[in-house]
Structures are given as C-alpha cells and as structure tokens.
Structure 1
Amino acid sequence: MILLAQGKKQAEIAKALGRSSSTISRELKRHALESYSATNAQNSYLKHRQNSKAQRKLEQPEYFNLVQEKFLTLNCSPFLKNTHASPADIAHASIIDTTVWLKK
C-alpha cells in the first residue's frame, strides 16, 4: 500500500514485489471499499482456505447422525465388540453385509 500511496503504478508495484500485475490488480480490487491491509487480506485468505477443505465425515451432521442412529440407538456401539465373537470367528460375508448396511 505504501508504493501505491507514493503514486507508483500497478506494474511498478508488481515488478518491485516480484508478482504479476494482474495479481496486484486483483488484490487492490478485492479491498477497494476499504484501505488495503495485508493482515486483512491474509485473514480473508485463511478463512476461505479453511472453508474450501473437505470436512471429515463425522464433522458433517448427516454422517454424525447416521453413526449415532446406527451404532448408539441400535445398540451397536464399539464398546460392545468385547462381548461378541473375535474377528477370526466372523464370516467375511458378515463384514460386507454390515458395511452395506452402514451405507444405507
């Protein structure tokens, strides 16, 4: 912002910062209503970046509700596995059936 206040053109600012002049133009337009602040620009970037990442499945309400319904309401919670047969005793088909059931 200092260079802009000194009357430098966008192309001169871009060359001084080692950036494309279109990048400088977009940054200035993005913050045109307020004076440009690198801190605000960085915070805005971080906020948008955080929102662009895929959420973990259990952080999404529909998956959390599915797990809650299938495991807790139907008494299939993980702590019950100690009372069931060992994994060696469970048929492969049962595992596949359970996986399909969870996806419904």
Structure 2
Amino acid sequence: MDIHTIVLAAGEGSRMKSNKAKSLQRIGGTSMLEKICFTAGSISPKITLVVGFDKDSVIKESKTYNLEISTADQPKPIGTGDAVKCGITKVEDGAKVLVLYG
C-alpha cells in the first residue's frame, strides 16, 4: 500500500508562551517534531512537512533526522484544512494520505 504522510508543523505555539514553533517544543528532551517524524517514518518513507512559522528552524531540525522529508510552505496560517491543502501538492496521484499533527 502506497501511503504518504503529511505532518502539519506550521503552528506558532503562542499558547505555549514561547517564541519557538510549536513543533520544536521539547517534551522529555525531544522535540514534538522529532517524535512525530520518526513515527511517520515507521509507517512510510514518504513524508511531507508543512511549514510556516519559523520554517527555517523547523526545516533545519528535520534535516538532522536522517529521513527523506519534503517540505510544503503554508504562507498564511489560516487553518488545518489549508495546511493539508498545501501538503497535498507533494502527494502522488492515487496515494493514500495520513495526516499527523506535528
């Protein structure tokens, strides 16, 4: 089965009282992004990371995971549906899609 995982990682995390992207917040010493990317990688090697807020830092960290991760930009944070729409542009026709919050 051909599965493509879209990880939504464009959020600001303003409710976390931090100036870091939400996906870069650490839990037990590991970023939420790392946890979700390795989970995604265990399901399928096809991963697209939707980035927005602090995208350079998010992309930089994702490159340290030794996974093949493509990125899609969400220029304006207008919601989850829009983030999925941005990510779906990287998915091959006919692939099944799994969407995970990063």
Q: What TM-score does the superposition give when structure 2 sets the normalisation length? A: 0.28
Greater relative CO (CA pairs within 8 A, separation 6+): 2
Higher Cα Rg: structure 1 or 2?
Answer: 1
Greater strand fraction, Structure 1 or Structure 2: 2
